[in-house]
Structure 1
Amino acid sequence: MSDIIRFLERMGEDVRLRDASAAELELALAQAHLEPEHGAAVLAGDAARLQALLGLGTLMAVQLPAEEEEEEEQEDEGEEPPPSEESRRREAVLA
């Protein structure tokens, strides 16, 4: 089983192998000395079959939306915010 995992890892890392033609991929599989069933599943691009051969169960992920935080109302709603230090300096220079 580890041979097929190593081959799949190599296939993911090597762009030439990932984009190889069927003949090139078949040659690489033969050189890797994999089980014939594993090689056939890789050549067919059959991930479900490969998962079954490796004894992997169903892969599942669950996503839930995050709880929305309530927006706090500003106490001084309607009032202008206090002037910043920079705006006070500008007013002093202009005066």
Structure 2
Amino acid sequence: MSNTIRFLEALGQDPALSRLSPDQLRAAIESLELEPAQKSALLAGDFAGLSQLMGGRDKMVKLVWEPGPELPADGEEPDGVQEDPSEPEDAPSDR
């Protein structure tokens, strides 16, 4: 795991780190062994730029798929579907 990810993870997990003053936060970032571009992005709060530098995604999309009712087996009618009562069962179908 990169030092950048470890640092961001620590910021999110440690309540004391979330209360650092701007000067303390700057000192903490400067003390990390990071690429200069990553340090600059962290110091500027440019998280889109930091994500791009680290090969992250431009966008993230959430999709929730809820499966519907089970499909009927071959030859079975789906629930709630009734045959047309005007057609006799033994009449030839032109469908």
Instruction: Note the aligned Cα RMSD (angstroms).
Output: 2.6
The correspondence of residues 13-92 of structure 1 with structure 2, limited to 5 A, is: 13-63=13-63
Q: Point out where structure 1 has 5 or more consecutive residues left out of the alignment.
A: 70-95
Shift of 1:6: 0.9
Of the two structures, which has the highest relative contact order with CA contacts closer than 8 Å and spacing of 6 or more?
A: 1
Kindly indicate whether the alpha-carbon contact (under 8 Å) linking 2:11 and 2:17 is maintained by their aligned counterparts in 1. Answer: yes
Shift of 1:32: 2.0
Count of matched residue positions in the alignment of Structure 1 and Structure 2: 71
Q: TM-score, normalised by structure 1?
A: 0.57
Alignment identity in percent? 38
Q: TM-score, normalised by structure 2?
A: 0.57
- Structure 1 position 9 matched with structure 2 position 21: no
Distance 1:62 1:9 in 2: 22
The one-letter code of the counterpart of 1:35 is: E
List, as ranges, runs of 4+ consecutive aligned residues in structure 1 with deviation greater than 6 Å: none
Shift of 1:34: 1.9
Q: Point out where structure 2 has 5 or more consecutive residues left out of the alignment.
A: 70-95
Distance 2:63 2:44 in 1: 31
Kindly indicate whether the alpha-carbon contact (under 8 Å) linking 1:41 and 1:49 is maintained by their aligned counterparts in 2. Answer: yes
- Structure with greater proportional helix content: 1
